[in-house]
């Protein structure tokens, strides 16, 4: 039969051709629609074939399958992989999932020996293995993409270690910091995200293959051999847990959710900073869009979309949690819906990381606007209070009170703290001397923050170099 006719016949094959002689009648159309997962799990084809190749090699070594049959199965699986790779494979909804699609095509290619491939395994352990392999690769991709974003942030930090900007609490001016220091805060957050993805990959790196449907198998298989062949640290230790658990998927989704929250916070800052009322940074045409009616607009759409996609990753975590929370051991068909959640979150986090790395590399800072804003809102008030503690010996609470009176005076006069006459300051507290002028002003404030992790420009430059060594 020509390949085109064979693929057409496979696409219309009855759904029960592989999973049983018990069912004489075909399923209702709605059952076929709700039961099929091929539109989603076709993404697992590489992992599915990889797992099958390791499985059949083990079956041959253990004498469970004849070497000649194993060789034919191996050649057939590689041909199936080649067909999928070049887009010549016809996926069939009637065959439900990626496992049965591959096996059906294998049977067309090599005939009866294809039926021996499924010896000593079930679709339950097969799909868990496929997903574990896929998630391991997804964690590696996320790590590499986070590293590129860190690289862009560190470059900005090195370039702007001394660029003064306002630091905020409650989105109100708090104390002056440097733009480089601000960039390095996200480097730290993202470093912890990399740790979470690494932890998820490590804990999920156990092979479920060989757990079969739920109880293991009576065949003399070698699960350690298949685990090693697939790059796992070893086999899972309980057959029930092997097919029932998806916490490795939940952990991946948790890492995605936390990382996307960090990205969303940075995206929000880009939205704020690019607003002309702030004007701290600008983004080029590559990461902004215009308006259909207002020609002056430059909208930070890429940042807004990154901010929005955080909802998709968190929603995916909640979705999978809700699927699993009421399931008795072991497998339930509900678990088929684990993959849409996982794939959606993986797509969202990878696109968000790529967009954010591009925006940070593209971003141009406006040091003059940042510096002008840094002096507003009496941002050196804490420096004044600290000076009163150090130089005048006041308890901090009393120094806080004195500084508050000076802030009120500056407000009444419409000036900033460094612009108050010394006589006016001494009228509030005679312990104030001209030496106080050495701590007021944003430059003095920033230079004084030399504690570990502080915003002093020299400290920021050292921290940026350390981050480059540690993460890049």
- Catalytic residue IDs: 170, 291
Residue whose token pair is 């699927």: 323
**443: nearest Cα among 367, 364, 366, 365:** 367
**132: nearest Cα among 271, 338, 384:** 338
Which H or E run contains 175? strand 172-178
d(CA 367, CA 147): 26
CB 270 within 8 A of CB 303: yes
Residues β-bridged to residue 289: 299
Number of neighbouring beta carbons within 10 Å of residue 86 = 8
Q: How far is CA 26 from CA 7, 10, 23, 63, 99, in A?
A: 20, 15, 7, 36, 19
- Rounded to 5 degrees, what angle do the CA atoms 373, 378, 380 make? 95
Structure-derived torsion over alpha carbons of residues 428, 431, 432, 438, reported in degrees to the nearest 10 = -160
Task: Name the packing angle between helices 179-203 and 123-159 (round to 10°).
Answer: 160
């Amino acid at each position: 039969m020509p390949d085109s006719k064979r693929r057409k016949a496979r696409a219309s094959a009855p759904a029960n051709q592989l999973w049983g002689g018990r069912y004489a009648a075909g399923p209702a159309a709605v059952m076929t629609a709700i039961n099929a997962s091929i539109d989603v799990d076709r993404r697992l084809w590489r992992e599915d074939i990889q797992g099958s190749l390791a499985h059949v090699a083990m079956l041959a070594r253990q004498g469970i399958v004849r070497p000649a049959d194993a060789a034919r199965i191996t050649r057939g699986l590689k041909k199936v992989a080649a067909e999928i790779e070049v887009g010549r494979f016809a996926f069939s909804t009637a065959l439900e999932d990626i496992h049965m699609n591959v096996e059906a095509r294998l049977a067309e290619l090599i005939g009866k020996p294809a039926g021996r491939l499924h010896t000593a395994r079930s679709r339950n352990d097969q799909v868990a293995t496929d997903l574990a392999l896929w998630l391991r690769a997804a964690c590696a991709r996320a790590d590499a993409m986070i590293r590129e974003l860190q690289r862009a942030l560190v470059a900005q930090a090195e370039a702007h270690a001394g660029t003064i900007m306002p630091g905020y609490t409650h989105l109100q001016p708090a104390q002056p910091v440097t733009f480089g220091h601000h960039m390095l805060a996200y480097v730290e957050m993202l470093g912890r995200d990399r740790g979470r993805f690494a932890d998820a990959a490590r804990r999920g790196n156990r092979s479920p293959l060989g757990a079969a449907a739920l109880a293991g198998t009576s065949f003399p298989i070698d699960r350690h051999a298949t685990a090693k062949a697939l790059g796992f640290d070893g086999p899972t230790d309980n057959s029930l847990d092997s097919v029932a658990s998806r916490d490795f998927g939940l952990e991946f989704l948790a890492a995605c959710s936390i990382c996307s929250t960090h990205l969303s916070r940075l995206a929000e800052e880009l939205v704020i900073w690019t607003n002309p009322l702030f004007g701290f940074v600008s983004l080029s045409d590559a990461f902004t869009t215009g308006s259909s009616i207002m020609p002056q607009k430059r909208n930070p759409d890429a940042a807004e979309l990154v901010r929005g996609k955080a909802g998709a990753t968190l929603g995916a975590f909640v979705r999978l949690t809700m699927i699993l929370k009421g399931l008795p051991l072991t497998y339930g068909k509900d678990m088929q819906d684990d993959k849409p959640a996982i794939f959606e979150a993986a797509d969202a986090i990878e696109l968000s990381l790529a967009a954010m790395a591009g925006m940070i590399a593209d971003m141009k800072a406006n040091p003059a606007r940042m510096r002008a804003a840094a002096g507003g809102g009496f941002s050196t008030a804490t420096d004044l209070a600290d000076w009163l503690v150090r130089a005048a010996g006041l308890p901090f609470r009393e120094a806080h009170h004195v500084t508050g009176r000076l802030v009120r005076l500056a407000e009444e006069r419409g000036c900033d703290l460094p612009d108050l006459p010394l006589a006016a300051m001494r009228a509030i507290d005679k312990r104030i001397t001209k030496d106080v002028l050495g701590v007021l002003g944003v430059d003095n404030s920033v230079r004084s923050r030399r504690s570990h992790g502080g915003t002093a420009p020299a400290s920021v430059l050292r921290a940026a170099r350390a981050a480059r060594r540690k993460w890049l």
